[in-house]
Amino acid sequence: MTATFKAYRLIFKQASGTSRGVLKQKATWFIKIEGGHRFGIGECGMFRGLSIDDRPNFESKLQWACDHIHLGLETLLDTLTEFPSIQFGLEMAFQSLESNTPFLLFPSEFTSYKQTIPINGLIWMGSEAFMKAQIQDKIDAGFSCIKMKIGAIDFETELNLLKSIRKEFSAKDLELRVDANGAFTPSEALEKLKLLSDLELHSIEQPIQQGQLEQMARLCEQTPLPIALDEELIGVFDIPKKQELLQIINPHYIILKPSLVGGFRGSKVWIETAESQNIGWWITSALESNIGLNAIAQWTYILNNKMPQGLGTGSLFTNNFDSPLLVKNGTLQYNLKQKWNIKNL
């Protein structure tokens, strides 16, 4: 059994704004395991500026994993605790190698085109006109859940955008989520959450920056709007520390990006910890290519979580790989008529 890796640069169809800046491209890495006449492929979707494994030695650690692929998955995962995206890429690649076909990792009614996964429509930050156009596009495309990134333009404009949606669609007709990516300061956050709660939003992700446990705990205790932790989970490796973090903050939800929290294994620990404390959760991609998104989607389906998931990112890139993944009527579907094409790899 041998393993190699290759870097790849995903190009956005249009610049996508977040409170951390505008994204025009995203680096990712693919690990390929070969044994006999079979191969497995996984994606190490490290996210520059966000992932805990965004370090100068990332590629050398990835090379080490390839050189020691004979150690087996469990040993590699235990050794690479501080490199969650490599852990996830390895999990994916080993699962792919063991499967009948490289991209059928978790066969289910989803992969047989009998069931779909409800997803949220993602609204990127930008000018008021740009965000309005995105909102209308998502509604026209049949989404019943929209997630809007906020915190880049002035709050009043964002609030008015949300108000304009609510004038047309009630909370029963359209679920609204917002993601602040830590854009609010602790001193202003509660007042802003009160204004947002008047619009019957489902939740807000990461209102203040991660690492401010006391302030976030106080906010979760006082908020009129359910709070979901996202970035707060990154870099918390030990199970007791995960339990402690959720006990201290006591959020309403946690959001799991497998590439950022240690893949399937790391996400399962967070899910078990959250459920033991009656905390809800859902799964989100982290701008992986269709290879990584495929693995996340198949795994998410078998978890049987009925909430809309954050898996609609596959159409963002000009140079993504052709795959059976299809976004239609506000759901992610598996179109068996569409074949995989990874010739660029």
Which residue numbers are catalytic? 149, 257
Q: Judging by beta carbons within 10 Å of its beta carbon (0-12, 13-18, 19+), is residue 244 exposed, middle or buried? A: middle
Pull the structure tokens for residue 114.
Answer: 């009998």
Alpha-carbon gap, residue 345 to 39, rounded angstroms:
13
The helix-helix angle for 213-222 and 186-197 (nearest 10°) equals: 30
E strands within 109-182?
Answer: 117-118, 121-123, 145-149, 175-179
User: What residues form DSSP beta bridges with 40?
Assistant: 33
Tokens 């792919």, located at residue: 96
Pull the structure tokens for residue 25.
Answer: 């491209």
Q: Judging by beta carbons within 10 Å of its beta carbon (0-12, 13-18, 19+), is residue 318 exposed, middle or buried? A: exposed
Please answer whether residues 47 and 54 qualify as being in contact, where contact means their C-beta atoms are separated by less than 8 angstroms: yes
Q: Give the CA-trace dihedral at 309, 116, 141, 314, to 10 degrees.
A: 60
Please answer whether residues 84 and 257 qualify as being in contact, where contact means their C-beta atoms are separated by less than 8 angstroms: no
**Helices and strands (H, E) in the chain, number of each type:** 11, 13
The DSSP secondary-structure symbol of 224 reads: S
Pull the structure tokens for residue 82.
Answer: 């501080």
Parallel/antiparallel/unpaired status of strands 325-328 and 331-334: antiparallel
CA angle 137, 116, 233 (to 5 degrees): 80
Q: How far is CA 59 from CA 18, 27, 29, 39, 236, in A?
A: 26, 12, 9, 21, 22
Alpha-carbon gap, residue 26 to 93, rounded angstroms:
21
